[in-house]
Amino acid sequence: MRLFLIFLLLLVPLLGLAARLFWLQLVQGEALAQKALSRQVYRAKSLGMRRPIIDRQGEILAWDEVRARIWAHPIYFQFPGDRDGQRRSVAEVSQKLAAPLELSTAELEKRLSGQATGIRLMENLSLAKGELVKALGISGIDIETYPQRRYPQGPLFANVLGFLNLERQPQSGLELSRDEQLQQQESSQWLLRSGNGVVLPIGLPIGAIREDTLQLQLSLDTRLQRVAHGALAKAVERWQALRAVAMVMDVSNGELLVMASQPSYDPNRFWEAEPHLFREWSVEDLYEPGSTFKPINLAIALEEGLITQDSKVHDTGTIQVGPWTISNHDNKANGLITMGQALKVSSNVAMVKTMVNLPPKRYWQWLGKLRIDQAPNTDLPGATGGYFKPLNTFVRDPIHGATVAFGQGITLTPLKLLQLHASLANGGWLVQPHLIQGLRSGTTLASTVLSQRQKIFDTNVAATVRGWMVESGNNLVISSSGQPIAGKTGTSQKVRNGVYAPDAIIASFVAHLPADQPRFVVLVVVDEPRGVGAAGSTVALPIAGPIIDSLVALENLDLST
């Protein structure tokens, strides 16, 4: 009997254990498995850091710097060697931290007071300083490392790069439009970890945890950008202008070597800047190009057989179009002049007399063929298409075609005008303007740009217009070399509240170089310069001078014809 009782006593726990195992494995098994998986597997973000951005020479324009952040939990404060349960005071910990953090104990005590845990003590510290704090071994003091976007060139490329906000969200520029390319190495992965949090290499794809050496390479040249940025800053201050932009494009493939804007801001301290500076206005804002559009019109006239290389036109100083009288900018009559001379004196009358022979519907179709109303396919966000009158309006009233003939009554972005002039410079091809060359790893460049070209002008037509631009540019003091430049200035009126403002102009200058076989187009646009004598030749032209001189030197250009 005694043995039977002992047997029962031993059997009861075994039966209980069996029942418990039955309950855990068969009844709660699936739920417990999911709970375990949720603790072992987690979504890991940012196995790497955001890719750097470099210029065409490999100069760093944007990169992620690893910084340190310090969290404090006073409820757990202990020093190395303290007995279990011992807690150090805020004052004691502040004395330890004062030297490595270079703060007073009073300031630290103030920051550490008020709550028992989860205090963000300091951030944006160097890794070296974080290591000094970590070496103290204070329980309750945690060091968190995190990436912070840096822009070592400061305001120089702010209009192009944009910035990340404090939550590392892209806000403008290439950081926004090329976010996916820049964050590819930040892809999330489902990771398995052990009980102590160590990542286990189970189920990870090959290459999931590795250093990503790819860099986003731009076509921009820091050396030229710096020259342009400085020249624009001086001009904006000298003429009290609202803003100004300078661009340089490789006419063969649409690569931009320069896209500089003033005023600018420091993307490292974006919160101090006016929000309107975050937009690149040369890509987004429309303006009337004025006389810099005249070479485009002459190309259309040549294509339509309205003029030839030897054509002349009689400039009478004024011309009547319906009830409107159109005059030259200087109210002078220039007599019988060639097309090159018409560009040189910037004759509005000569242009109207030339383009009035083109049927309005055909003229309107040409504006569409040039894609005036379509946004250029560029890599910057916010690119905007231009505007010209609807067909019925354009055909009904001849004043619309007359004003477009000298670059008014039509709007486009500076980037679009640059693209159109590149087509004259490269033999008639409309190329895609872009800033990105591709992703680079070491000496290998994986191009991300698709070459998009459309023939819009005959090669001979483009060459003829360039010749006229050289004739126009002979009187322009632009390059220290003294060589001819195929160039054209522009001084257009600016619309305010639906009417042309008498005191507001836009000054511009465009050049093709070298003149005989152009490789580059340079465009400068200055919005609302103020002062006596403000015009394209006095405001925009001097800005282009140092840019062209630097371009000639860096690209070893021969400007002789």
CATH number at residue 99: 3.90.1310.10
Q: Flag whether 348 is in a domain.
A: yes
Q: Flag whether 3 is in a domain.
A: no
Compute the distance between CA of residue 111 and CA of residue 108 in angstroms, rounded to an integer.
5
Neighbours of 417 (CB within 10 A): 26
Tell me if 383 sits within 8 A of 283, measured CB to CB. Answer: yes
Q: Flag whether 521 is in a domain.
A: yes
Tell me if 257 sits within 8 A of 356, measured CB to CB. Answer: no
Compute the distance between CA of residue 488 and CA of residue 465 in angstroms, rounded to an integer.
11
Compute the distance between CA of residue 545 and CA of residue 525 in angstroms, rounded to an integer.
14
Compute the distance between CA of residue 401 and CA of residue 413 in angstroms, rounded to an integer.
20
Compute the distance between CA of residue 61 and CA of residue 266 in angstroms, rounded to an integer.
12
Q: Which of 131, 148, 165 is the last residue of a domain?
A: 148
Give yes or no: residues 229 and 342 share one domain.
yes
Question: 3-state DSSP call for residue 124?
Answer: strand
Overall domain count for the chain = 2
Q: Is 509 exposed, middle or buried (CB count within 10 Å of its CB: 0-12, 13-18, 19+)?
A: buried
Token pair belonging to 291: 């006389």
Residue 157 confidence (pLDDT): 96
In 3D space, the residue among 3, 138, 153, 10 whose CA is nearest the CA of residue 79 turns out to be 138
Report pLDDT digits (tens) over 151-207.
999 999 999 999 999 888 999 999 999 998 888 654 444 445 555 444 444 454 544
Q: Flag whether 188 is in a domain.
A: no
Q: Which of 148, 182, 208 is the last residue of a domain?
A: 148
Give yes or no: residues 111 and 259 share one domain.
no
Mean pLDDT of 428-447: 85
Q: Flag whether 163 is in a domain.
A: no
Residue 168 confidence (pLDDT): 87
For 488, residues 6+ apart whose C-beta sits below 8 A from its C-beta are 291, 292, 294, 295, 343, 346, 469, 472, 473, 509, 510, 511
What are the backbone dihedrals phi and psi of residue 325, each rounded to the nearest 5 degrees, phi first? -105, 125
Q: Flag whether 527 is in a domain.
A: yes
On average, the pLDDT of the chain sits at: 86
Give yes or no: residues 135 and 228 share one domain.
no
Beta bridge partners of 453: 431
Q: Flag whether 194 is in a domain.
A: no
Q: Which amino acid is at 404?
A: V
What are the backbone dihedrals phi and psi of residue 499, each rounded to the nearest 5 degrees, phi first? -135, 155
Task: Tell me the helices (H) and strands (E) count for the chain, helix number first.
Answer: 19, 21
Q: Flag whether 112 is in a domain.
A: yes
Mean pLDDT of 463-492: 80
What are the backbone dihedrals phi and psi of residue 485, each rounded to the nearest 5 degrees, phi first? -125, 130
Compute the distance between CA of residue 179 and CA of residue 172 in angstroms, rounded to an integer.
10
Give yes or no: residues 230 and 132 share one domain.
no
Compute the distance between CA of residue 55 and CA of residue 215 in angstroms, rounded to an integer.
10
Q: Are strands 119-125 and 60-72 parallel, antiparallel or unpaired?
A: antiparallel
Residue 450 predicted with pLDDT over 60? no
The domain of 286 spans 222-270+280-555
pLDDT: is 416 or 560 the higher one? 416
Mean pLDDT of 220-228: 97
Tell me if 147 sits within 8 A of 66, measured CB to CB. Answer: yes
Q: What is the CATH number of the domain that holds 330?
A: 3.40.710.10
Strands (E), 215-361: 215-218, 243-250, 256-262, 312-315, 318-321, 324-327, 335-338
Mean pLDDT of 477-481: 60
Residue 15 predicted with pLDDT over 90? no
Question: 3-state DSSP call for residue 27?
Answer: helix
Model confidence at 482, pLDDT cuts 50, 70, 90, reads low
Q: Which of 113, 148, 183 is the last residue of a domain?
A: 148
Q: Which amino acid is at 459?
A: T
Compute the distance between CA of residue 552 and CA of residue 480 in angstroms, rounded to an integer.
10
Give yes or no: residues 133 and 229 share one domain.
no
DSSP-derived secondary structure letter, 78: B
Of the spans 46-50, 72-76, 228-232, which averages the highest pLDDT? 228-232
In 3D space, the residue among 321, 323, 396 whose CA is nearest the CA of residue 361 turns out to be 396
Q: What is the pTM of this model?
A: 0.82
Give yes or no: residues 250 and 126 share one domain.
no
Residue 199 confidence (pLDDT): 46
Report pLDDT digits (tens) over 247-285.
999 999 999 999 999 999 999 999 999 999 999 999 999
Tell me if 438 sits within 8 A of 447, measured CB to CB. Answer: yes
DSSP-derived secondary structure letter, 24: I
